[in-house]
């Protein structure tokens, strides 16, 4: 399909594709970040900068080119982070300014636009350094300008950008001594190339994941580069300012100075030992909007000390909250919830609250699908930077194909060794197993010790689920139609138990209070079993009051050593239905 020009909708799509390509390479870019300081955040800064702009696109209805570019430009400049993120934002801002009156992007105005972007990127730095993202931008743009008469359409233009970018990226090794010593390319420059690679893959219809394995090596000469400790950024309302005056005041305070502005805003980035003085100067020009200070010495030390022999990954049906996962360094591959033809990544694109709202408005019940290969691989890439082995713990293989797919991609992963474990459970039952594995991994236990302990828990663990309706379980094939009809005829609120790969009724009641009381009776029986450890978990859906009542009675009546709580993911609710609740123990 020819791409002689790009309208607003088409450019929006390639911008999203390019941003996703940077996100895929986030950890790789972090791992080769040695300039200007080895703080290991270039990939994160570039990905966050671009993803914030992509998020802004989701809320607009006008997809004309001027409005798309205006939306992107404003968000990029407001949310840009770090050296490379701000330079990338300035490149696009300059590019978009040259296209503000265009209805489409064609090869002719594209060349003019990226040339304007190049000038804006260079102008943003007080002391531009070659061998960085600036060099790749300059060489790529200059090469395309020379070829302008030969360019056939926009796909050809971006192909030329990518080809030239790959060549000039490799040349950065010879243009900066630090890169040459470590035999790596500049991190920000590689991020710029990744964007255009993603755009090209979209135009070619080849949106496939290409793993960028993070490097694991100690870079020579890097640690001594942190002379200015704090990466400092500030944004202030300022209708008018003299850029040279700002640069002259801030230059003596540090290095890596970037000063940008426009549309009533002044933005500053600098590496300094005196952030407060920087903010005082910035505040003298106008009211502060936001500020950020990162301690690069701590970041660099954390990057060196964060290594752990084994790290854990799982899927989104574990129902562990984000804070817990982040504290323990657990990566999560999201399953998908599909409404009609629109798919959402569980707990990523769709929160529980958003899911319930969509469920009320949707004329058809949602369905679910396995995590994408790219999500599995991205988790493995993120973890592999800081560990020697990865343990993937997934939802029971009798309920989902997630374990099989995770094992396939784990076996194929070209890097850190991946062990895939079938938890035999779901929701916070699996979540409790993951917490135990993460605790043991943090204590330095071996893979064999961890999986042996998981085997013990798997046999002991009891999973109980109460549902308001059997409709969702029947639709997903988790129970038979006969069981569903009996429940509908008698209005039962059953207590189901998941065991040996089957969901079976073990109690029933006609009211919520009786159902809670019967659950407590079942849990009391479990607590009498030899070897019971007193570990409990309760997961709720859209009726937290019922879960609160159950939690209160568990604490009053049972020998509790630990009790964790959580909310069910949209995928879990899709199969169990609103009004359901789960309780797990071993």
Question: CA 96, CA 72: separation in Å to the nearest integer?
Answer: 9
- CB-based contacts of 246: which residues, under 8 Å, 6+ apart? 259, 266, 268, 281, 285
Question: CA 76, CA 54: separation in Å to the nearest integer?
Answer: 9
**Does the pLDDT at position 17 exceed 70?**
yes
Question: CA 564, CA 323: separation in Å to the nearest integer?
Answer: 13
**Do 395 and 431 share a domain, yes or no?**
yes
**Minimum mean pLDDT among 5-19, 315-329, 355-369, 423-437: which range?**
355-369
**Do 128 and 193 share a domain, yes or no?**
yes
In the chain, the percentage of residues whose pLDDT exceeds 70 is: 90
**Minimum mean pLDDT among 384-393, 494-503, 528-537: which range?**
494-503
Burial of 467 (0-12, 13-18, 19+ CB in 10 A): buried
Per DSSP bridges, beta strands 308-315 and 331-333 are parallel
The confidence band for 57, taking pLDDT boundaries of 50, 70 and 90, is: confident
**Does the pLDDT at position 474 exceed 70?**
no
Q: What is the pLDDT of residues 68-84, one digit of tens each?
A: 999 999 899 888 888 88
Average pLDDT over residues 352-368: 85
The confidence band for 546, taking pLDDT boundaries of 50, 70 and 90, is: confident
**Confidence (pLDDT) at 222:** 53
**Do 295 and 393 share a domain, yes or no?**
no
**Confidence (pLDDT) at 586:** 97
Q: Determine the distance from the C-alpha atom of residue 271 to the mean position of all C-alpha atoms in its chain, rounded to a whole number.
A: 27
**Residue from 90, 46, 15 nearest 262 by CA:** 90
Most confident of 200-214, 411-425, 467-481, 490-504: 411-425
Structure tokens at 55: 């998020």
CATH classification of the domain holding 377: 3.40.50.10170
Domain assignment present for 2? no
Distances (CA, A) of 492 to 242, 336, 472, 504, 514: 74, 30, 15, 14, 11
Q: What is the pLDDT of residues 269-289, one digit of tens each?
A: 999 999 999 999 999 999 998
**Do 65 and 205 share a domain, yes or no?**
yes
Number of domains in the chain: 4
Average pLDDT over residues 292-307: 74
- Choosing from 210, 244, 268, the residue where a domain stops is 210
**Do 499 and 575 share a domain, yes or no?**
yes
Domain assignment present for 482? yes
Domain assignment present for 316? yes
Burial of 357 (0-12, 13-18, 19+ CB in 10 A): exposed
Average pLDDT over residues 128-143: 93
The confidence band for 443, taking pLDDT boundaries of 50, 70 and 90, is: very high
Q: Which residues pair with 184 in a beta bridge?
A: none
- CB-based contacts of 154: which residues, under 8 Å, 6+ apart? 3, 4, 5, 6, 105, 106, 107, 110, 203
Average pLDDT over residues 168-175: 89
Average pLDDT over residues 193-210: 82
pLDDT top residue among 79 and 371: 371
**Does the pLDDT at position 207 exceed 80?**
no
Domain assignment present for 195? yes
CATH classification of the domain holding 477: 3.30.1180.10
Q: Which residues pair with 333 in a beta bridge?
A: 315
**Does the pLDDT at position 440 exceed 70?**
yes
State which residues form the domain around 118.
8-210
Average pLDDT over residues 430-452: 96
Question: CA 335, CA 304: separation in Å to the nearest integer?
Answer: 32
The confidence band for 189, taking pLDDT boundaries of 50, 70 and 90, is: very high
Question: CA 134, CA 437: separation in Å to the nearest integer?
Answer: 45
- Choosing from 210, 239, 258, the residue where a domain stops is 210
Domain assignment present for 223? no
- CB-based contacts of 283: which residues, under 8 Å, 6+ apart? 236
**Do 284 and 377 share a domain, yes or no?**
no
**Confidence (pLDDT) at 483:** 46
**Does the pLDDT at position 415 exceed 90?**
no
Tell me, what DSSP letter sits at residue 395? S
**Does the pLDDT at position 486 exceed 70?**
no
Scan for tokens 């290409």, then name that residue: 210
Scan for tokens 């609740």, then name that residue: 581
Structure tokens at 520: 């407590």
CA dihedral for 282, 288, 289, 291, sign (positive or negative) = positive
Most confident of 356-365, 378-387, 397-406: 397-406
**Confidence (pLDDT) at 477:** 46
Buried b (16+ CB within 10 A) or exposed e, 166-203: bebbeebbebbebbeebebbbbbbbbbbbbbbbbbbbb
The pLDDT mean for the chain works out to: 87
CATH classification of the domain holding 295: 3.30.70
**Does the pLDDT at position 532 exceed 90?**
yes
**Do 533 and 579 share a domain, yes or no?**
yes
**Do 274 and 379 share a domain, yes or no?**
no
**Does the pLDDT at position 195 exceed 90?**
yes
The confidence band for 214, taking pLDDT boundaries of 50, 70 and 90, is: low
- CB-based contacts of 527: which residues, under 8 Å, 6+ apart? 534, 558, 559, 585
**Confidence (pLDDT) at 482:** 41
Return the SS3 of 71.
Answer: helix
Domain assignment present for 344? no
**Do 520 and 430 share a domain, yes or no?**
no
CATH classification of the domain holding 72: 1.25.40.340
Domain assignment present for 429? yes
**Does the pLDDT at position 485 exceed 70?**
no
**Do 279 and 313 share a domain, yes or no?**
no
pTM of this structure: 0.57
**Do 436 and 470 share a domain, yes or no?**
no
**Does the pLDDT at position 360 exceed 90?**
no
- Choosing from 424, 459, 494, the residue where a domain stops is 459
Domain assignment present for 474? yes
**Do 381 and 515 share a domain, yes or no?**
no
Q: Determine the distance from the C-alpha atom of residue 18 to the mean position of all C-alpha atoms in its chain, rounded to a whole number.
A: 15
């Amino acid at each position: 399909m020819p791409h002689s020009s790009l309208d607003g909708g088409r450019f929006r799509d390639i911008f999203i594709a390019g941003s996703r390509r940077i996100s895929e390479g986030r950890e790789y870019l972090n791992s080769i970040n040695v300039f200007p300081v080895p703080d290991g955040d270039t990939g994160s800064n570039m990905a966050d900068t671009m993803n914030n702009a992509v998020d802004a696109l989701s809320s607009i209805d006008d997809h004309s080119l001027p409005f798309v570019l205006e939306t992107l430009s404003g968000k990029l400049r407001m949310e840009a982070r770090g050296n490379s993120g701000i330079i990338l934002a300035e490149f696009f801002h300059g590019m978009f300014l040259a296209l503000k009156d265009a209805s489409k992007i064609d090869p002719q105005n594209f060349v003019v636009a990226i040339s304007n972007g190049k000038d804006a990127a260079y102008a943003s730095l007080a002391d531009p350094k070659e061998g960085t993202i600036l060099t790749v931008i300059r060489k790529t743009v200059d090469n395309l300008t020379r070829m302008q008469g030969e360019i056939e359409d926009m796909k050809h233009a971006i192909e030329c950008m990518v080809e030239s970018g790959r060549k000039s990226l490799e040349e950065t090794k010879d243009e900066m001594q630090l890169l040459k010593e470590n035999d790596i390319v500049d991190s920000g420059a590689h991020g710029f190339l990744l964007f255009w690679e993603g755009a090209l893959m979209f135009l070619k219809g080849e949106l496939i994941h290409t793993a960028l394995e993070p490097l694991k090596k100690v870079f020579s000469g890097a640690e001594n580069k942190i002379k200015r400790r704090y990466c400092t950024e500030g944004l202030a309302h300022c209708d008018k300012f003299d850029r040279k005056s700002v640069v002259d005041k801030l230059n003596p305070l540090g290095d890596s100075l970037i000063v940008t502005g426009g549309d009533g805003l002044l933005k500053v980035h600098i590496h300094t030992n005196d952030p407060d003085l920087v903010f005082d100067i910035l505040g003298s020009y106008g009211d502060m909007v936001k500020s950020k200070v990162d301690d690069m010495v701590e970041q660099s030390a954390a990057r060196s000390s964060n290594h752990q022999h084994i790290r854990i990954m799982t899927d989104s049906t574990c129902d562990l909250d984000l804070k817990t996962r982040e504290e323990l360094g657990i990566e999560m591959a999201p399953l998908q919830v599909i409404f009609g033809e629109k798919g959402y990544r569980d707990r990523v694109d769709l929160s529980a609250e958003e899911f319930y709202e969509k469920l009320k408005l949707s004329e058809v019940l949602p369905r679910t699908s396995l995590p994408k290969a790219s999500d599995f691989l991205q988790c493995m890439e993120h973890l592999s930077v800081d560990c020697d082995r990865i343990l993937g713990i997934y939802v029971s293989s009798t309920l989902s194909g997630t374990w099989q797919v995770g094992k396939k991609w784990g076996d194929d992963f070209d890097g850190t060794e991946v062990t895939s474990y079938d938890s035999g459970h779901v929701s916070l039952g699996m979540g409790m197993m993951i917490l135990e594995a993460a605790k043991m991994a943090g204590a330095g236990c071996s893979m064999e010790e961890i999986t042996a302990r998981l085997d013990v828990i798997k046999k002991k663990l009891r999973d109980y689920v109460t549902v308001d309706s059997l409709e969702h379980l029947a639709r997903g094939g988790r129970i038979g139609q006969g069981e569903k009809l009996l429940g509908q005829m008698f209005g039962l609120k059953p207590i189901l138990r998941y065991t040996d790969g089957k969901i079976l009724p073990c109690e029933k009641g006609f009211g919520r209070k009786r159902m809670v009381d019967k659950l407590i009776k079942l849990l009391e029986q479990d607590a009498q079993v030899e070897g019971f450890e007193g570990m409990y978990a309760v997961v709720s859906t859209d009726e937290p009051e019922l879960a609160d009542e159950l939690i209160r009675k568990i604490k009053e009546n049972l020998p509790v050593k630990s009790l964790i709580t959580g909310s069910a993911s949209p995928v879990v609710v899709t199969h169990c239905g609103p009004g359901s609740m789960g309780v797990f123990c071993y």
